[in-house]
């Protein structure tokens, strides 16, 4: 996982807000959760899971909340996390206590997401289904799939 050290620095930080960026191609929704942005206290991070790699990067409020990018074929928008996923609301105000990378059981070099554990023992997993359709999903809880393991 690229950017592991960023998450390590955020342990014991409080989750304040979140934004997701859907991705459209020729006006068809391709990926509801193309990018995930989370604000912990004063820091925004971007979580991208694509091509068997999980990337955590520092971001800023302008990028996380940039409402709209569009050209002839591609469109991205920013959506408030808890409007798209009302279950996210219960995570606001909780401290991040640990995290775990989701990897393939067959090849631990292939990363498919990250699980974020919070102070009330709740978990958010950002997971890339990869095959047969490369798209991300938000799981409110732990991933229950024998093909993947947390490290």
Per-residue confidence at 71, pLDDT binned at 50, 70, 90?
Answer: confident
End-to-end CA distance of the chain: 10
pLDDT (0 to 100) of residue 135 = 74
pLDDT (0 to 100) of residue 63 = 75
pLDDT at 139 over 80: yes
pLDDT in tens, 72-105: 777 777 889 999 999 999 999 999 999 999 999 9
pLDDT in tens, 9-63: 999 999 999 999 888 888 777 767 788 999 999 899 999 998 889 999 999 877 7
92 Cβ neighbours under 8 A, 6+ residues apart: 15, 16, 17, 82
144-148 long-range contacts (CB < 8 A, ≥24 apart) are 146/105, 147/104, 147/105, 147/106, 148/102, 148/103, 148/104, 148/105, 148/112
pLDDT at 132 over 60: no
Per-residue confidence at 131, pLDDT binned at 50, 70, 90?
Answer: low
Locate the domains of the chain by residue range: 4-146
Q: Which residue has the higher pLDDT, 39 or 144?
A: 39
Q: What is the arithmetic mean of pLDDT over 1-13?
A: 97
pLDDT (0 to 100) of residue 104 = 92
pLDDT (0 to 100) of residue 88 = 96
Other Cβ atoms less than 10 A from the Cβ of 20: the count is: 26
pLDDT (0 to 100) of residue 54 = 94
Q: What is the arithmetic mean of pLDDT over 62-69?
A: 69
Residue 18, strand partner residues: 38
Other Cβ atoms less than 10 A from the Cβ of 100: the count is: 19
């Amino acid at each position: 996982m690229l950017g592991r050290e960023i998450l390590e620095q955020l342990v014991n930080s409080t989750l304040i807000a979140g934004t997701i960026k859907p991705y459209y191609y020729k006006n068809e929704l391709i990926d509801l959760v193309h990018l995930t942005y989370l604000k912990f206290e004063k820091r925004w991070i971007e979580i991208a899971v694509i091509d068997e790699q999980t990337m955590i990067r520092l971001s800023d409020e302008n990028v996380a909340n940039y409402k709209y990018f569009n050209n002839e074929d591609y469109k991205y928008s920013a959506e408030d996390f808890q409007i798209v996923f009302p279950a996210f609301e219960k995570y606001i105000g909780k401290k991040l206590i640990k995290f775990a990378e989701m990897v393939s059981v067959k090849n631990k070099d292939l990363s498919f997401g990250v699980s974020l554990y919070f102070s009330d023992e709740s978990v958010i997993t950002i997971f890339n289904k990869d095959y047969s359709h490369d798209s991300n999903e938000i799981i409110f809880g732990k991933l229950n799939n024998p093909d993947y393991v947390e490290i």
